[in-house]
Amino acid sequence: MTAGSLKSMAWDAVRWNALPVAMIVALIAAGAALGAHHDFHFGFIVFQDFWLLFNVAGFGAILAGAALLELFRSRPARPFAHLRVKFGEWRVLKRAIVALPILLTAPAMFSAFSAVKAGIPVMNPFHLDPLFAEMDRIIHGGDAWTLVRPVLETPAAVFAINIAYHLWFFLFYGALALAAVMVRDVRLRNQFLTAFVLTWIVLGLVVATQMSSVGPVFFADFYPQLADPYAEQMALLRAADEHYPIWALDVQALLLEGARNPAQDSIGRGISAMPSLHVAVSVLMALFTRRVNRWLGLAAWVFAAVIMLGSVVLAWHYAVDGYLSALLTPMVWVLAGWLTRPRRVLAAAPLPQPASA
């Protein structure tokens, strides 16, 4: 390993990550400015031990999994010597270097996102839930949850969907880590990372602020003057919780407590329904993984459909929240592709070397 090759790797890390990292920095600056202007608590936490550990563990898990698979397939007589050669072939050091900017700034992005999201009701008080509920009724001939009543009346099915909904957190971080360590298809890598950051900022904050809403689960809490069309649905979820742990109910209680105590600082706080970020990120993962592997992409599309179903079953969202996400996310994907097209992301080239004497 020469100093020149290390400089080349570092330069690739700068060029490949410049756009998503710049957007993350802009989000943090904008969040601080919005907090000051609208007088809400911008509880930004640069790093938390959990997220740092998760980043290191994520990269380590990918590397360990690849190593174990290679040893199982090859069964070498000298495993460590074999892996040392393979690590060189896999360009492990370069993957780590180019992934580092993303893996270090992602926790900061999620923290800033949560802080701004918690300020949505200050910038634009929740008011559109009755409209979205009525849109659901017009489209489906009634509240969307009534169409999935058989699922809600089957506790095991609710539990399975609840597991998938929480698995989303690990899968999106896995997709983020996978893209961050990619070195062969650089354009796909940069397109996904750019689209990922754009999705959280544009859909999760800009659109969410303009369409300020809380979702069915919180309808009664934020619109006490209106009849609650979701009381029966929540009763069915609580009934399912008596048979299997429905973690969504615990998370919903924590979010409601956080909304009543906005000075709390934690990643993941804040209430927002329209559009569904769960659906948006799931669709984004499907768009990405279908370019990586056909069968992986198919599985991702099935998972996105399950998340769409779960967003309604678990009372997190109106169905129209997911529909809008499914419509807007491909547009974000195309925009990210345009932003990262070759003439904007320079092709990799070796750094100029000083002339020898």
Domain contains 346: no
User: What per-residue confidence (pLDDT) applies to 50?
Assistant: 56
User: What per-residue confidence (pLDDT) applies to 115?
Assistant: 87
CB atoms within 10 A of CB 261: 9
Q: Which domain holds residue 22?
A: 3-339
Domain contains 167: yes
Domain contains 345: no
Question: What confidence tens digit (pLDDT) does each residue in 22-55 have?
Answer: 999 999 999 989 988 888 777 766 555 555 666 6
Q: Which of 119, 134, 316, 140 is nearest to 226 (CA)?
A: 134
Contact 270, 198 (CB under 8 A): no
User: What per-residue confidence (pLDDT) applies to 140?
Assistant: 95
User: What per-residue confidence (pLDDT) applies to 330?
Assistant: 97
Question: What confidence tens digit (pLDDT) does each residue in 100-116 have?
Answer: 888 888 888 888 898 89
Task: Find the length of the chain.
Answer: 357
Q: Which of 48, 155, 111 is nearest to 267 (CA)?
A: 111
Domain contains 357: no
User: What per-residue confidence (pLDDT) applies to 344?
Assistant: 45
CB atoms within 10 A of CB 3: 7
Structural domain tally of the chain? Answer: 1
Helix (H) or strand (E) holding 141: none
User: What per-residue confidence (pLDDT) applies to 104?
Assistant: 84
Q: Could you list the pLDDT tens digit for every one of the 357 residues in the chain?
A: 566 676 777 766 778 788 999 999 999 999 989 988 888 777 766 555 555 666 666 666 666 766 777 677 777 777 777 666 666 555 667 777 888 888 888 888 888 898 899 889 999 999 999 999 999 999 999 999 999 999 999 999 999 999 999 999 889 888 898 888 877 888 999 999 999 999 999 999 999 999 999 999 999 999 999 999 999 999 999 999 999 999 999 999 888 887 777 655 555 578 889 999 999 999 999 999 999 889 999 999 999 999 999 999 999 999 999 999 999 999 999 999 999 987 644 444 454 554 443
Helix ranges (DSSP H) in the chain: 3-38, 49-74, 79-89, 92-118, 120-123, 129-140, 144-147, 149-152, 155-180, 186-198, 208-210, 219-222, 231-241, 247-260, 277-292, 294-313, 319-339
Contact 49, 129 (CB under 8 A): no
User: What per-residue confidence (pLDDT) applies to 15?
Assistant: 81
Domain contains 347: no
